Structure 1
Amino acid sequence: MAPNNSPNKTTARNYRRNRTKFTEDQLNILIKAFNQTPYPGDATKQNLALETNTEESRIQIWFQNPRARHRVQKRSEPEKDLEASQDQDHPEERIHGREDRRCYTSYTSSQLHSLITAFTNNPYPGIDSREQLAKEIGVPESRVQIWFQNQRSRFHVQKKRELDEPLEQKKDQERNL
């Protein structure tokens, strides 16, 4: 994969990372690894990152994409799913289990303070902001990215609950009348 030497690379940006374009050789390596295990562990992702000269976070995303395509494909073919679930004579056709997963990342109160402050300022930070924050708090950028995804999800769930609460209270009041 050719390095990105564009002039925008050095300037601060708060938008999406450029699409990663894998070479045919890189794709062959990734596809072979995916066929062995679609849920690679940390060590496997690190080795693949070294072997393909790509960031580990890009390897993680690459593995997420074919798994998502597989789920969508399975949903669009429900009758085949039924046949496959009834035919258990071919265990080698099942998707292999997950390798050991990365341990849950525990953050110190100082790290959490920095993450929450950054989230309050911008819940959708660009790659440069995430990399800078990761460097400041001493965790990989991929962990910062996941933390922001989780935090946005929690934020949306909380907002939905807050919006639903007055409706529930109103329904309760109407029932009591």
Structure 2
Amino acid sequence: MAQDSSPNTMNLRRSRTRIKFTEDQLKILIEAFNQEPYPGYNTRQKLALEMDIEESRIQTWFQNRRARHRVQRRSEPEDLKSSRDQDYDQDRPVEKTPSREGRRRRISYTSSQLHTLISAFKNNPYPGIDSREQLAKEVGIPESRIQIWFQNRRSKFYVQREEEPDEPSEQEQDL
């Protein structure tokens, strides 16, 4: 069946256009962004009149700039974060996914470490800070990783318990 392309049924979304801002316009926009990344309608309207551009284009530029700003903040090393925003290249490609540089490396546990942790878990699935610190000294892993291991182990334990079919209780077996 052919689609009806009459004006009433067409998508009302504006067609995508790539506006190239001049260097002077970019300087004005960047300066405004550095002062206020979330400008109000009146500020955007004033900028639009000053630069002879539609206010909606100014609004879109600010939205895109904020998005790029967030992505750049996540992917830059700490020492560069304070020195950036001096110059801005509008045509610079934006990273699609956040960098994993800030994440910790995955820890591989030895069999003896796992044995110690599992036996501690059997004794107490909710160890306090003192117990976790003692375990950390024993197995040679930071306490924060011990805490995460216990959280993950409890989660795994409860998921496995829910997946097991209901076994008859002792009372039902006696009948």
Which interval holds the TM-score relative to the shorter structure? 0.3 to 0.5
User: What TM-score, normalized by structure 2, do the two folds share?
Assistant: 0.41
Name the larger-Rg structure.
Answer: 2
User: What TM-score, normalized by structure 1, do the two folds share?
Assistant: 0.41
Higher helix fraction: Structure 1 or Structure 2? 1
Larger RCO (CA under 8 A, 6+ residues apart): 1
